A and B are shown apart, each in its own frame.
Chain A
Amino acid sequence: MPLQKCKYHLYLVAFVSPKEFEYHAPAELQEAFSLLKEHGDNAKILAGGQSLIPLLKSRIFSVPHLVDIGRIRGLKNVVENGSEIRIGALVTISDLEANNEIRTRFQAISDAAGLIGDPLVRNRGTIGGNISHGDPSNDMPAAMVALKARFKLSSQQGERIVDAGEFFIDTLQTDVREGEILTEIIVPEPRNRSGSAYMKLKKTAGDFCVAGVAVSVSLDQHGGLSGLNVAITAAGPRVIEVKGLEEKVTGKKLNEELSAIISTEVVNASEPAEDFYGTVEYKRKVIGLLTGDCLELAVERAKEGAKR
Chain B
Amino acid sequence: MRIRITVNGNQEEMDVEPRELLADVLRNRLDLKGTRIGCDTSNCGACTVLIDGKAVKSCTMLAVQADGHDVMTVEGLSDGEKLHPIQEAFVQKHGMQCGYCTSGMLMTAYWLLSRNKDPDDGEIRKFFSGNLCRCTGYQDIIDSVKYASELMQPQEEKLIAKEH
User: Are both chains from one complex?
Assistant: yes
Pairwise interchain contact B65-A50, C-beta atoms closer than 8 A: no
Residue in A closest to B104 when the chains form the complex, CB atoms: A120
Given A53-B60, A121-B57, also A70-B129 (CB < 8 A): no
Residue in A19, A49, A57 whose beta carbon sits within 8 Å of that of B65 in the complex: A49
Pairwise interchain contact A15-B62, C-beta atoms closer than 8 A: no
A281 close to B (CB within 8 Å): no
B40 close to A (CB within 8 Å): yes
A119 close to B (CB within 8 Å): yes
Pairwise interchain contact A15-B60, C-beta atoms closer than 8 A: no
Pairwise interchain contact A121-B64, C-beta atoms closer than 8 A: no
For this complex, 6 residue pairs linking A to B, each with C-beta atoms less than 8 Å apart, are A19-B19, A20-B17, A22-B18, A49-B61, A119-B130, A121-B42
Residue in B17, B60, B129 whose beta carbon sits within 8 Å of that of A124 in the complex: B60
Complex Cα distance, B65 from A117, in Å, reads 21
Q: State the 10 A-B residue pairs at the shortest beta-carbon distance, nearest first.
A: A118-B130, A23-B18, A120-B130, A205-B129, A18-B19, A118-B129, A123-B54, A15-B40, A53-B60, A15-B41
Measured between beta carbons, the chain B residues less than 8 angstroms from A23 are 1, 18, 62, 64
Q: What residues of chain A have their CB less than 8 Å away from a CB belonging to chain B?
A: 15, 17-23, 25, 46, 49-50, 53-54, 56-57, 66, 68, 70, 94, 117-121, 123-124, 205-206
Complex Cα distance, B19 from A23, in Å, reads 8
Given A18-B19, A123-B56, A205-B129, also A70-B65 (CB < 8 A): yes
Residue in B42, B64, B131 whose beta carbon sits within 8 Å of that of A54 in the complex: B42
Complex Cα distance, B60 from A235, in Å, reads 27
Q: How many residues of B contact A (CB 8 A)?
A: 30
Measured between beta carbons, the chain B residues less than 8 angstroms from A206 are 43, 129-130
B126 close to A (CB within 8 Å): yes
Measured between beta carbons, the chain B residues less than 8 angstroms from A17 are 19-21, 24
Residue in B closest to A53 when the chains form the complex, CB atoms: B60
Measured between beta carbons, the chain A residues less than 8 angstroms from B65 are 46, 49, 68, 70
The minimal Cβ–Cβ distance linking B114 to chain A, given in whole angstroms, is 13
Known: A57-B40, A68-B64. 6 other contacts (CB 8 A): A17-B19, A22-B18, A25-B67, A49-B61, A66-B18, A121-B130
